[in-house]
Structure 1
Amino acid sequence: MAVIVESKAGGGAAAPSYVKTPAWRFLASLPVDRKLARHDIAGSLAHVGMLAEVGILTTEEAGALAKGLHRIYGEIGTGSFPWREDLEDVLTNIEVRRTEILGPLGAKVHTARSRNDQIALDERLYLREAIAAVQQETLRLQLALLDLAEAHAATPMPGYTHLQRAQPVTVGHHLLAHFWRLSRDHQRLSDAFARANVSPLGAGALAGSTLPIDPVRTAHRLGFAGVFENSIDAVSDRDYFAEFLFDLSLLAVHLSSLGDEIVLWASQEVGFLRPAPELGSGSSLMPQKRNPDVAELARGKAGRVIGDLVSLLATLKSLPLAYNRDL
């Protein structure tokens, strides 16, 4: 997609207009990155506030921009935002909508900001939210396992090595092994959150800006623990995604192990449990069966998560600094 920026008579920038290139479908990432829309608005609001505080924008300009951004945020929330598939990504869609609402003033949001540090910021904001959501669900499963383990603290069962009966244990003791695996997963996610909780905004395309911006102010507005130490690293770093995907992969391995155990225990050969009707399915031919579908799918989906990690690492392995389109 080509970008054409037209100049107004008398100076100043007009709203950008876009034309399709033959490769526009290949370049489009909107189906993937539109989930970043709320985070992009949050980043722009913080950026506008900082620009006003350092005197690059007037109070009136900042107020009008904030009003327009809040309007777009509301449209996104209600599903009334006019998404355009011919605009390649979420950033372009929001930029075009902003200038539709505010005219040339809308372009001033991008003062002292590049799409490179903008998308890096959006991704970190998204990741912080995603980590918190996964941690919450992991904790729910931990608590469920803990309740079940307490209920069966004295229920005997055989312990296994090599899938052969070895020593007697209790059901509670066995379930707590899964609990502690998940506890480590939860802690790893906290560690990943801490390393991702650094703002890249202000790094620009790769070498910052000559304007007197204050990245620390923006970082504080967005709740980051700190700001980047190196502008090239800020726009090229995707360690946080790789680390998150590794943590998810290991979590998925643990869930797969739990699911596999449920499948085994639910078999007639073992018979330790019987799946609840809402967590399994019957057979169209054999109505006496109750298949542990949820556990089987939990086991199977782990491969997708691991595959995503390998795909990301394969992409990152040969990228030069700083920003690249396939980053």
Structure 2
Amino acid sequence: AECPLGSGALAGTTYPLDRFYTAQELGFAAPCGNSIDGVSDRDFCIELTSAMATCMMHLSRLSEEIILWCSWEFKFIELDDAFTTGSSIMPQKKNPDVTELIRGKTGRVYGDLNTLLVMMKGIPLAYDKDMQEDKEAVFDAVDTLELCLKTITPMLATMTPLPANMRRAAAKGFINATDCADYLTKKGMPFRDAYKCTGTMVGA
């Protein structure tokens, strides 16, 4: 890491500072080589928030899978009651609140990343007061991701798989049709013909 101390507002200072000494005392490897970069750059904020937005994207996609798997149409898993609530009108319904909230909060972290990008796009190469807005976006993204991780971890650890329902679903829809087409191909039939033949049998 490089130390920005001594960069001033833009182009350093006329004072005879030993920037290598102060950088070493503060635990940095060296002073930053470019004073403009030292004070006007916020790439580290953007890169961190981008990484957090990517993490939230994966959590959101996993949450969507879990929401589907919990539905009556699938019923592949059952979530612990601690991570669900009942419906306000349907007594039999169990709402997967945690996963729905994570899915929604993903857009919030995307918004934090967009805040930083829009903030930086039009300011000149120096320190500008606009940059004070970076902290709110970064801290919000950190807090949101941390909250989601702390919540989804015990939810995953306590959910109950329902393998009998999974097996029943796997037995439907001719899941082995591709294997059948591959078998015919291995026996010498062109794959296009094997594909058509298998599709005809499945549709019969």
Q: TM-score, normalised by structure 1?
A: 0.38
Q: Which has the higher contact order (CA 8 A, sep 6+)?
A: 2
Task: Answer with 1 or 2: which has the greater Rg.
Answer: 2
> Which among 100, 104, 109 is matched to residue 305 of structure 1?
109
What is the rounded CA distance, in whole Å, between the counterparts of 1:317 and 1:244 in structure 2?
17
Distance change (3 Å), C-alpha of 1:281 and 1:219: farther
**1:25-53 CA deviation, whole Å, 9 max, x = no partner?**
xxxxxxxxxxxxxxxxxxxxxxxxxxxxx
Identity of matched residues, % = 52
SS at match of 1:326: helix
Structure 1 residue 214, shift from structure 2 partner: 2.5
Query: What is the RMSD of the two structures over their aligned residues, measured on CA atoms?
Result: 1.6
Structure 1 residue 241, shift from structure 2 partner: 0.9
- The answer as to 2:11 corresponding to 1:235 is no
Q: TM-score, normalised by structure 2?
A: 0.59
Residue in structure 2 matched with residue 216 of structure 1 by the alignment: 20
What is the rounded CA distance, in whole Å, between the counterparts of 1:292 and 1:301 in structure 2?
15
Structure 1 residue 285, shift from structure 2 partner: 2.7
Residue in structure 2 matched with residue 152 of structure 1 by the alignment: none
Residue in structure 2 matched with residue 260 of structure 1 by the alignment: 64
SS at match of 2:114: helix
Residue in structure 2 matched with residue 292 of structure 1 by the alignment: 96
- The answer as to 2:29 corresponding to 1:225 is yes
Structure 1 residue 243, shift from structure 2 partner: 1.0
**1:181-211 CA deviation, whole Å, 9 max, x = no partner?**
xxxxxxxxxxxxxxxx322111112222222
**1:215-251 CA deviation, whole Å, 9 max, x = no partner?**
2333333333332111111110111111111111111
Structure 1 residue 263, shift from structure 2 partner: 0.7
Residue in structure 2 matched with residue 244 of structure 1 by the alignment: 48
**Structure 1 spans left out of the alignment, 5+ residues:** 1-196
What is the rounded CA distance, in whole Å, between the counterparts of 1:222 and 1:265 in structure 2?
52
Q: Which amino acid aligns with 1:205?
A: A
Q: Which amino acid aligns with 1:318?
A: G
SS at match of 1:295: helix
Distance change (3 Å), C-alpha of 1:239 and 1:281: same
Structure 1 residue 272, shift from structure 2 partner: 1.1
Structure 1 residue 317, shift from structure 2 partner: 1.2
What is the rounded CA distance, in whole Å, between the counterparts of 1:296 and 1:284 in structure 2?
16
What is the rounded CA distance, in whole Å, between the counterparts of 2:103 and 2:59 in structure 1?
7
Structure 1 residue 275, shift from structure 2 partner: 1.2
What pairs with 1:1-327 in structure 2 (closer than 5 Å)? 197-327=1-131
Of 246-255 and 306-315, deviating more is 306-315
Structure 1 residue 326, shift from structure 2 partner: 1.1
- The number of residues matched between the two structures is 131
Distance change (3 Å), C-alpha of 1:289 and 1:326: same
Contact 1:256-1:299 at 8 Å conserved across structures: yes
